[in-house]
Amino acid sequence: MALRSLFKGLTLFQKTALVTIAVTFLLIFIGGLVRATGAGLGCPDWPKCFGLWIPPTNAADLPEAYDPEQFNVFKTWMEYVNRLVGVLVGFLILLTFVFSFRYVRRIPSVFIGASAALLLVLYQGWLGGQVVQSGLQSGMITIHMVIAVLILNVLVWTWFHSVKDRIRYSMSARGRRNLILTLVVLLIVIIVQVIFGSQVREALEMVKAAYPGLERSLWMERVGSIDMIHRSFSWLVLVFAVLFQYLALRHGSGTPLPLLAGLTMAATLLQMLLGAALVYLGIPPAAQVFHLWIAAFMTGVPFFALLIALRSRPGPAYRA
């Protein structure tokens, strides 16, 4: 398969960067789980949790300064695992950065990308503390989410630059140009949709705070016009995902683009289904988690496809 040639015989840097991408993606899932289960304040302090480096499993073991009423073992450990995986991502990014030294001269963009990921993850670690200290202010959660998605894409960009010499795809000049244009527009549309989505989430949190006794299934009714904008905009995402699929099949045979387009289409359709589940089934927490996770996936895949399209050469031959 066309994509396989990019993953064969990887160097230590390339393997580490790939693992880092996978664990960062997992962290976005866990972060969504923390939010959907309301476990964000499972640890009321930061970086420690109830004043300890390893939180207790029983309220009786809490330090005296803390109220046992405040303790919920599930939420505390959910938030604690989130922090542990966050630390793991931090170390993996540090390793990626250290291993990127060997590229400083040959491919400086690899070193630049790894340095940017390191700076972003340090900022994200600090921001995580601020999010907790702000009492989970919704605007802060949005920034935290945006930075997580940014880190993921910076890592994809960095890894891609380390394997770009393997890419020998070519396609017609017109097909290549149309694909690049479509992918740029698709990415912009997805980013705007992610921003609208986080506005829906912020509006939902405001409704939750303003009407404490209100049933969960009735929250959506009070969200206002941003919900309609977010729903309608997903059709635009779908239109460009279909166009990407069409162009990839037509001009990108022998390249990974048809596969990446198929993944983008499937993710878009699934995202719309999950969106409908959120609206019509009273915001099930599982749908919240996957809706956020797939949104992160939907930024990464077309971005990777764009990098491949930009790297391909205009020409008649199709080669993997």
**Position 268 contacts ligand HEM (CB under 6 A):** yes
Contact pattern from residue 193 through residue 212 relative to ligand HEM, giving x for each residue in contact according to CB under 6 A and a dash for the rest: xx--xx-xx--x--------
Residue 159 or 293 having the CB closest to ligand HEM: 293
Pick out residues in 165-194 that bind ligand HEM (CB under 6 A).
190, 193-194
Contact 211, 290 (CB under 8 A): no
Backbone angles phi, psi at 313, to 5 degrees: -105, 145
Q: Which one among 243, 278, 305, 306 touches ligand HEM, defined by CB under 6 A?
A: 278
Q: Which one among 30, 62, 291, 302 touches ligand HEM, defined by CB under 6 A?
A: 291
Q: What is the DSSP-derived secondary structure letter of residue 51?
A: T
- CA dihedral sign, ordered 295, 297, 301, 304: positive
**Position 264 contacts ligand HEM (CB under 6 A):** no
3-state SS record for 239-259: HHHHHHHHHHHHHCCCCCHHH
Which residues, including other chains, have CB under 8 Å from residue 43's CB and lie 6 or more apart? 49, 50, 55, 76, 79, 80, 83, 132
**Position 275 contacts ligand HEM (CB under 6 A):** yes
- CA dihedral sign, ordered 39, 154, 198, 301: negative
Residue 45 or 202 having the CB closest to ligand HEM: 202
Contact 183, 244 (CB under 8 A): yes
Contact pattern from residue 101 through residue 130 relative to ligand HEM, giving x for each residue in contact according to CB under 6 A and a dash for the rest: ------------------------------
Pick out residues in 38-77 that bind ligand HEM (CB under 6 A).
none
Closest distance to ligand HEM from the beta carbon of 191 (Å): 9
Closest distance to ligand HEM from the beta carbon of 166 (Å): 30
Pairing of strands 313-314, 170-171: parallel
